[in-house]
Amino acid sequence: MSQIIDGRALAKEHELALTHKLLTINYKPVLVSILVGDDAGSVLYTDIKQKKAQELGIDFRVARLNEDSLVQDISDKICKLNKDNQVTGIMIQLPLPRNFTKEQSEQLVNLIEPSKDVDGLRLSSPFMAATVRGVMSLLDEAQVNLSDKTVVVVGAKGEIGSRLMKVLESKVQKLIGIDRNTQNLVELTLQADVLISSTGQPGIIKGEMVKEGAVVVDIGSEKLADGKVVGDIDFASVVLKASKITPVPGGVGPMTVISLMENVAEAAEKLA
């Protein structure tokens, strides 16, 4: 039977350590999240982050903009926040509404001052992307030695997958990045000692695609019509094959939130 890698429990441990760290900083960090439009998922994730920040003593502010805002409107907001010495960190709640292109999203992310890019989405950011930091913390907690492993990342060209690939490339024996539409998908996933999926396509990874004893990390998180939250992994079939597995919900998600707050604390330490 698989060992469930409990993201909620690990997040609690990190939260305790982070609480102590924040007490040593002589000012209250300010995190501003730019929220464009009123997508239910984006609003929910923003609320979750705000709640956690408030529990930790971080001043979390939401800068709301209408869905029909122009790129220039958002650019102006970012530039203003960059210049505000009271603001410790800036993030854009992604994805932006569908009327914004991928290139526009990247353009806006890259406007954030690197020292304030606590979500770690700029390629030049001094911070590890919050989701990637969460994944690495979970693998460390599960005592997974990556140095002798073949690691396969499904969704390697995506926003999170590409950043995860960059972090993993120097830590593993062999790294394979694939897309969910790769023709020989099953052949490649079966090579994985550690299989990480970040496609946003519910249940794309089935049990027959997983090598016996593999460690499986699910970054996907989608809400179905019935309100159930599921990931990329077909948990019922994969749990029978994996030696260790992250659940959805309760796996990468909680660690992503606390990792973001850890980045904010590190940014605050540099400013203190």
What pLDDT was estimated at residue 227?
83
Q: Which residues neighbour 263 within 8 Å (Cβ) at sequence distance 6 or greater?
A: 89, 118, 119, 120, 127, 128, 130, 133
Question: Which residue(s) pair with 215 in the sheet?
Answer: 194, 244
Residue 34 to residues 79, 96, 250, 271, Cα–Cα distance (Å):
12, 10, 25, 22
- Look up the CATH superfamily of 130-253: NAD(P)-binding Rossmann-like Domain (3.40.50.720)
pLDDT over 80 (residue 149) = yes
Question: Which residue(s) pair with 233 in the sheet?
Answer: 205
What pLDDT was estimated at residue 272?
74
Note the pTM of the prediction, 2 decimals.
0.94
**Domains in the chain: boundaries:** 26-114, 130-253
Distance, in Å, from the CA atom of 60 to the CA atom of 252, rounded to the nearest integer, reads 22
Kindly indicate the confidence band of residue 189, based on its pLDDT and cuts at 50, 70 and 90. Answer: very high
pLDDT in tens, 54-65: 999 999 999 999
Kindly indicate the confidence band of residue 271, based on its pLDDT and cuts at 50, 70 and 90. Answer: confident
Mean pLDDT of the residues in the chain: 95
User: Residue 202 in contact with residue 230, Cβ under 8 Å?
Assistant: yes
Length reported for the chain: 272
Average pLDDT over residues 53-78: 97
What pLDDT was estimated at residue 1?
73
pLDDT over 90 (residue 269) = yes
Q: Is 130-253 the same fold as 26-114?
A: yes
What pLDDT was estimated at residue 250?
96
pLDDT in tens, 225-245: 888 889 999 999 999 999 999
What pLDDT was estimated at residue 157?
93
CATH number of 26-114: 3.40.50.10860
What pLDDT was estimated at residue 123?
83
Angle subtended by helix axes 252-271 and 130-141, to nearest 10 = 110
Residue that wins the pLDDT comparison between 123 and 37: 37
Residue 41, SS3 per DSSP: helix
What pLDDT was estimated at residue 224?
82
What pLDDT was estimated at residue 237?
97
What pLDDT was estimated at residue 259?
98
Kindly indicate the confidence band of residue 135, based on its pLDDT and cuts at 50, 70 and 90. Answer: very high
